[in-house]
Structure formats: structure tokens, C-alpha cells
Amino acid sequence: MSEFSLYLLQQLINGLTIGSTYALIAIGYTMVYGIIGMINFAHGEIYMIGSYVTFIVIAGLLGMGIVSLPIILVIALVVAMFIASTYGWTVERVAYRPLRGSNRLIPLISAIGMSIFLQNFVVLAQGSRDVALPPQIIGGWNFGDPSTFEVSLSYMQVLIFAVTFISMTLLTLFISRSRMGRACRACSEDLGMTNLLGIDTNKIIALTFIVGAALAAIAGLLLGLYYGVVNPFVGFIAGLKAFTAAVLGGIGSIPGAVLGGLILGVTEAMTSAFFPSEYKDVVSFGLLVMILLFRPSGLLGKPEVEKV
């Protein structure tokens, strides 16, 4: 292969890595939107909290003298998912549930308030500076000719692909096979009717927030380890990107969120391959406006019908 195509291959790998974490965050947006028709503005902050908890747990375990990497990662994953889910549940309980049935604008504003609150809560509790974690998973495979261009696939990237794939499979099984999953699907069809049929819709809504937050925490762990840095402001831009991914794939559709995340990740990687990397945010935002202009229902979404 030529040098240029190897370079593109490298960018594709990097793009898919970032894209799969966008997909994990985007699922949280898409599930909540699918059921209550609202954007969960605090979702990006949940992802950020997931990253912080991961760092705290890893630093704590290393401090205690536990060095076995798989044990550390599993404990960090479980704790981060648990804490982030608790935050997700609390956001729903405080900012959404008391306001159900009021004007659409009102829960939206309270969710933004929640997002500002959480961000500044972390700033006050953990400081606003970058926190760096030395790389835990080192090494990888290299392809190609070292004298021209070498494509590298690090173990960390493989871990990201694997964890994302496993979480997606589990989520799909949960949604399509379990009783709770069936209730979720029913709620997204028709919330009022589901309620009439004797399903506790409040519980299902809380569940979607919890599942979304848990997936965001997985993304927080993976991206935290991949970049090795976290600060209280990462949630804002990541949330924006993941929302773009959700809209790109068609908001409300879970496979759509995955597809959207991957496309967005690759687009960004390709952009930063040819332009200064500061402009990759501009491109992904431009993409969002373009989709809204030409295909508002997204790639896999169904067109919205307004009901009286």
C-alpha cells in the first residue's frame, strides 16, 4: 500500500476509536429522547463524572498497592458505572420528574441548570486543573514499512473497540429480550398508553437515565484512559459531539446513534488529517446543521409526526 493510503488507514482507526466512544455517549441521548422526547442536557457532565471516578478509583487502587491491571480496570468500571448511574438517576429525579407535564421549555432550562451545577460542583470538589493519569495500557501492533509510514493499532484502541462492542451487544439483548427492555420499547412507542396498560412509566424513564449514564461512564473510562487527562470541562464538548452523533443517526434510534457516532468520529479524524485540528469541532458542528437542513430525521430515524 502506498504511504498515503496507510496514512488514511491510520486516521480511520483513530476515527473509529473516538467514534465508538461518541456512540456510547450518544445512546444516552437517544434513549432519553426516544422515551420522553427531551434532550438530557446534563448527559455530557455524567460522562465527565464517569471519567473522574475512574481516575479516582485507579489512583486509589494503585495507592493501595494493587497492580494487577485487569482487576483495577474491572473495579474502576463497576464503580464508575454505579456512581454515574446514581448521578443520572438523581438528574432525572431532580430536574425532570417534578416538571413532567409542564411547558417543554421548563425541564430544558432546569436540565441546563443541572448541567451548570454539576460542572461547577466538580470544579469546586476536584479543582479546575487538568488531572493526568500515566498510561496504563501500553503497546500495540504496528503494520507497514517503518521507513515510510507505519500504521499503529494500540492495545488501548483494541480495548475500546472490544468494550464498546460488548456493551452494545448487551444493550441490544437487554432492549430486545428482557421484560424491562420490552417496557422501554413500549414507552417509546406511546408513553400514555403504556402507562394505561399498567407499566410504571416513571420507573422506565428512570431506567433509561440509568442505562444512559452507565454507558456514558463506560465512555468516560475508555476516553479517560485513552487521553490520560481529564478536566471538569470535557463533558460540555463531548456532550455536544455525542448529540450531533445521535441526530446524525436519527434521534430515538439506537443503531442510528452507533452509526452516527462512528461516522462523526471518522469525519473528525479525516478533517484533522488535512486541516488544523482546532477546526474539527467546526466541521462536526457544520455537519449537524447540514443534517438538520437536509435530513432532519437522521440516517436511520423515522420522520416525526406532531400529534395534537
Partner 1 sequence: MTSSKLYNAIFAAGIALILACLMIGVKLDTDSSVLAVKGATAEQWIWIAVGISVVFLSQLFSAQVDALFGAIPKPNFKAVLPQEKKMAVLKPWLISAVIVGMLIWPFMVSRGTVDLATLTLIYIMLGLGLNIVVGLAGLLDLGFVAFYAVGAYTYALLSQYFGMSFWACLPISAGLAALFGFLLGFPVLRLRGDYLAIVTLGFGEIIRILLNNWTSLTGGPNGISGIDKPTLFGLEFNRRAKEEGAMTFHEYFDMDYSSSYKVIFLYLIAVLLVICVIYLINRLMRMPIGRAWEALREDEIACRSLGLNRTAIKLSAFTLGASTAGFAGCFFAARQGFISPESFIFIESAIILAIVVLGGMGSQMGIIFAAIIMTILPELAREFSEYRMLLFGLLMVVMMRWRPEGLVPIKRPNLELKQQ
Distances, alpha carbon 161 to alpha carbons 9, 19, 297, in Å: 16, 10, 27
Stretch that binds partner 1, among 37-45, 175-183, 186-194, 207-215 (CB under 8 A): 37-45
Stretch that binds partner 1, among 20-28, 111-119, 170-178, 203-211 (CB under 8 A): 111-119
Please, what's the largest Cα pairwise distance for the chain?
68
Measured over the CA atoms of residue 220, residue 225, residue 226 and residue 232, the dihedral's sign is positive
Stretch that binds partner 1, among 79-87, 164-172, 204-212, 216-224 (CB under 8 A): 79-87
Of the candidates 134, 146, 192, 198, which one interacts with partner 1 according to CB under 8 A?
Answer: 134
Of residues 84 through 103, those in contact with partner 1 by CB under 8 A are 86-87, 89-90, 94-95, 98-99, 102-103
Q: 261: how many CB neighbours lie within 10 A of its CB?
A: 30
Q: Is 158 in the site for partner 1 (CB under 8 A)?
A: no
Q: Is 116 in the site for partner 1 (CB under 8 A)?
A: yes
Distances, alpha carbon 102 to alpha carbons 107, 110, 201, in Å: 8, 12, 17
What does the alpha-carbon distance between residue 207 and residue 213 come to, in Å, rounded to a whole number?
10
Instruction: Please name the residues in contact with 199: beta carbons below 8 A apart, sequence gap of 6 or more.
Output: 183, 186, 187
Q: How far is the CB of 153 from partner 1 (least distance, A)?
A: 27
Binding mask 267-286 for partner 1 (x = CB under 8 A): ---------x-xx-xx--x-
Element holding 161 (H helix, E strand):
helix 155-177
Number of residues that bind partner 1 (CB under 8 A): 74
Of residues 205 through 264, those in contact with partner 1 by CB under 8 A are 236-237, 240, 243-244, 247
Nearer to partner 1, 89 or 149 (CB): 89
